[in-house]
Structure 1
Amino acid sequence: MSKVERMSIVDVSLGRNLASLELFDALSPAALDEVRALARFKHLTRNTRIFNQGDGSVRAHALIEGCVRISQSGSDGAQVVVRFITRGEMFGTVALFTDGRYPADAETLTECTEVSWSEADLAQLMDRHHRIALNFIRIIGKRLQDAQNRVRELATQRVERRIAHALLRLARRSGHRNSEGITIEFPLRRKDIADICGTTLHSASRILTPWEKAGWLVTRDQRLTLCRPDEIEQIAENGET
């Protein structure tokens, strides 16, 4: 295979990856070529910090492969998991349209391939291709809806229901079915579950341990499988059974 042929295959692969990103949904091939020309691709190992809370020099990021944990720290050092970013999702974009500083940390949980654009380049792309701006508004709307749902859960639901909802959301977004159930395809610590549900590690363990003993959940190689998602769904809707 010649060098030109290899480069052509790489270009096609990158084009397909960009087309799969939520920000560039329904873009024409010509527009995707412009997007690719301004993009910076990186392959990252596990446990790599992509950016830190408070950092400037902001870029808009998107994940092509892998999983990234977004977390915030308070002045007292307490950490909250804001979101898990999975394939096809944008992250780090809020700072582009606010104070120019990342509001959270981003760290890889697996090997990842990510792509990013500078603030100026993304603004140029939005100006030239209004579909990108519309997609961005839709993404922000979905994230706001997710945040509102989590605030409602924190205010009105007991911890076991919040944990059940969190596991079901993760299973829908990044799970795959197998003979055991639905496996969440990235490393998930009990502390992560506690953080994203606004509770303590002790409380999360107190709830998860009986579920594992009942055969509803199993963890192997840091991958959590919902063996009985129907039971988890029942708790999410009605509370502890």
Structure 2
Amino acid sequence: MSALDRSILDAVPAFAALTGKEIDIVLAQARSLRYPKGTTVFEQGGAADSFFVLLHGHLQVVKLTPAGQQVVIRYVVPGEMFGIAVQIGRQSYPATAQAVMDSLALVWPSSAWPTLVARCPALAESALHIVGTRLDEAHVRVVELATEEVERRVAHALLRLLKQAGRKVDDGIEVAFPITREDVAQMTGTTLHTVSRILSRWEARGLVESERQRIVVRDPHGLFAIAETAKA
């Protein structure tokens, strides 16, 4: 297999502190894999035998609860390192990652991590930063679920998606990957019926536009006002 060009990691924050030589070391252990839309990258409970960097596309990370309920944990966007179970001492993946559109990722065997960290120490700090950031995100969502009414939770979820993967279109800012009302319900701990009712009300006010797998926020400032204003 031909060597991977180090420029493909230019937009990957996890490798920003590495020297050119260290990046070559990291890439020598990697291979690129394509994941067509709908493909499962790894499954909850499966052996954590690889870790990844997403180069193109988007992934949805979901977790199945003991009661059989599916929860959308987060979305992975290009430039993110993911599947880092081995870096936090896990032997299995805690959730399932699926491609929501055709995607391309770099893949490393988990067995390579100790050698990579030994030769490129900045990688360990990067992994710690990633874990810390995701823990902060989880804390925010726990507080929202415990203290906020559903409408505010949905507003916060959409605003986070825009910040993470929003793109400007003629009529507003679109979430840059396929997303359904059911996905939003699973992100915010509520029902499809409730999310549909909220989005329909917001559509009537000109705040959003939603189709089967598409959400456009037409008035981000109006949505922000809902997210940040507590109701009596």
Shorter-chain-normalised TM-score: which range?
Answer: over 0.9
1:140 matched to 2:131? The reply is yes
Per the normalisation by structure 2, the TM-score is 0.94
Q: Which residue identity does 2:113 align to in structure 1?
A: L
Q: Which segment drifts farther, 127-136 or 226-235?
A: 127-136
**CA displacement at 1:99 relative to structure 2:** 3.4
Mark the runs of 5 or more structure 1 residues left unpaired by the alignment: 1-6
Question: Who is 1:161 aligned against?
Answer: 152
Question: Who is 2:54 aligned against?
Answer: 63
Q: Which residue identity does 1:224 align to in structure 2?
A: I
Instruction: Please give the alpha-carbon distance, in whole angstroms, between the structure 1 residues aligned to 2:217 and 2:200.
Output: 13
Instruction: Please give the alpha-carbon distance, in whole angstroms, between the structure 1 residues aligned to 2:194 and 2:212.
Output: 23
Question: Who is 1:119 aligned against?
Answer: 110
Q: Deviations over 1:178-212 (max 9, x none)?
A: 33111110001101101011111111111111111
Mark the runs of 5 or more structure 2 residues left unpaired by the alignment: none
> Number of residues paired by the alignment?
231
Q: Deviations over 1:12-57 (max 9, x none)?
A: 3xx2222322221121111111111100210111000111111115
Identity %, equivalent residues = 35
Question: Who is 1:20 aligned against?
Answer: 11
1:11/1:58 CA distance change after superposition, 3 Å: closer
**For 1:124-203, what aligned pairs fall within 5 Å after superposition?**
124-203=115-194
**CA displacement at 1:114 relative to structure 2:** 0.8
Contact 1:60 1:117 survives alignment (8 Å): yes
Q: Which residue identity does 1:92 align to in structure 2?
A: G
1:102 matched to 2:93? The reply is yes
**CA displacement at 1:95 relative to structure 2:** 4.5
Contact 2:48 2:86 survives alignment (8 Å): no
* Match among 183, 205, 209 for residue 214 of structure 1: 205
Instruction: Please give the alpha-carbon distance, in whole angstroms, between the structure 1 residues aligned to 2:74 and 2:123.
Output: 23
Instruction: Please give the alpha-carbon distance, in whole angstroms, between the structure 1 residues aligned to 2:82 and 2:17.
Output: 20
Instruction: Please give the alpha-carbon distance, in whole angstroms, between the structure 2 residues aligned to 1:240 and 1:213.
Output: 20
Instruction: Please give the alpha-carbon distance, in whole angstroms, between the structure 2 residues aligned to 1:34 and 1:115.
Output: 14
**CA RMSD for the aligned pairs?**
1.8
1:225/1:142 CA distance change after superposition, 3 Å: same
Q: Which residue identity does 2:140 align to in structure 1?
A: N
Instruction: Please give the alpha-carbon distance, in whole angstroms, between the structure 2 residues aligned to 1:240 and 1:63.
Output: 39
**CA displacement at 1:239 relative to structure 2:** 4.1
